[in-house]
Amino acid sequence: MPGNGFEPVIVGFTCNWCSYRAADTAGMARIKYAPNVRLIRLMCSGRLDPQFVLKALAEGADAVFISGCHPGDCHYIEQNYKTMRRYELLKRTLAQLGIEDGRVKLVWASAAEGAILAEEINKMVAEVKALGPLNWKLEARS
């Protein structure tokens, strides 16, 4: 539940063309949103290798946020459709690993949609707070 002091750390992957610029837009509009997400820029959400997600969770992230151009708007024509398919597969794998659905999220945001990106991030942070820490890294150690 929110308010129990737990501040999740979330790794975010964005494409260079839409969602990274959405973050720029949110900044230029001075939209305040949850500080928990640390963005990593890829050229395209299609570059997202499922092992990046696993790596992030293993390194101590409580969740992973993935964002790209809206379907049909991809700077590389259609690669975000591939992202979509991979995401579905990835979710199954994660489910087998016992990772809740809410911990890995795919969100579309165009360069104009800074507000939407911020809103989605806020939503996700709230959800992950409700889920509580993942502590994969600690487990991995012990």
Partner 1 sequence: MKRLDEARVGVYVCHCGSNISATVDVENVAKWAGENLPNVICARDNKFMCSSLGQELIEKDIKEQGLTRVVVAACSPHLHEATFRGACQRAGLNPYLFDMVSIREQVSWVISDRAIATEKAKALISGGVRRVIHNEPLEPILVDINPNVLVVGGGIAGIQAALEIADSGSHVYLVEREPSLGGHMAQFDKTFPTLDCSACILTPKMYSAGNHKNITLLTYSEVEKVDGFIGNFTVKIRQRARKVKIELCTGCGACEEKCPKKVVDDVFEAGLGFRKAIYRPFPQAVPKYPVIDVENCTFFQRGTCKACEKFCPTGAIDFKQEDEIITVNVGNVILATGFDLFDSRRIPQYGYGRLANVFTSLEFERLSNAAGPTGGKVVLRDGVTVPQSVAIVHCAGSRDRNYNKYCSAICCMQSLKFAHLVKERTGARVYNFYIDIRTSAKAYDEFYQHIIEEGILFVRGKVAEVTDAARLSGEEGKLIVQVEDTLVGKQRRIPVDMVILSAGLEPRHDAKEVGKKFGISCSMDGWFIERHPKLDPVATMTDGIFIAGACQGPKDIPAAVSQGAAAAARVQGLISQRQISLEPVRASVDAEKCSGCRICNTMCPFNAIAFLADRQVTEINPALCQGCGTCVSACPAGAITGTHFSNEQIMAQIEGVLMLDLRQMAMA
- Could you tell me the smallest distance in angstroms from the CB atom of residue 102 to partner 1? 19
In the chain the beta strands, taken as DSSP E runs, fall at 10-14, 37-41, 63-68, 104-108
Tell me the per-residue interface mask from 83 to 122 with partner 1, x by CB under 8 A, - otherwise: ---x-----------------------xxxx----x----
111 burial (CB, 10 Å; 0-12 / 13-18 / 19+) is: middle
- Could you tell me the smallest distance in angstroms from the CB atom of residue 115 to partner 1? 8
Tokens of 14: 């964005």
Asked if 136 is part of the footprint of partner 1 (rule: CB under 8 A), the reply reads: no
Tokens of 136: 């994969």
Distance of CA 97 to the CA centre of its chain: 18
- Cβ atoms within 10 Å, residue 87: 19
Tell me the per-residue interface mask from 41 to 80 with partner 1, x by CB under 8 A, - otherwise: xxxx-xxxxxxx--xx--xxx-------x--xx-xxxxx-
Segment 22-41, which members bind partner 1 (CB under 8 A)? 23-24, 26-28, 30-33, 35-36, 38-41
- Of 93, 81, 129, 121, the C-alpha closest to 105 is 121
Summarize as ranges the residues that interact with partner 1 (CB under 8 A).
5-7, 9, 11, 17-18, 20-21, 23-24, 26-28, 30-33, 35-36, 38-44, 46-52, 55-56, 59-61, 69, 72-73, 75-79, 82, 86, 110-113, 118, 137
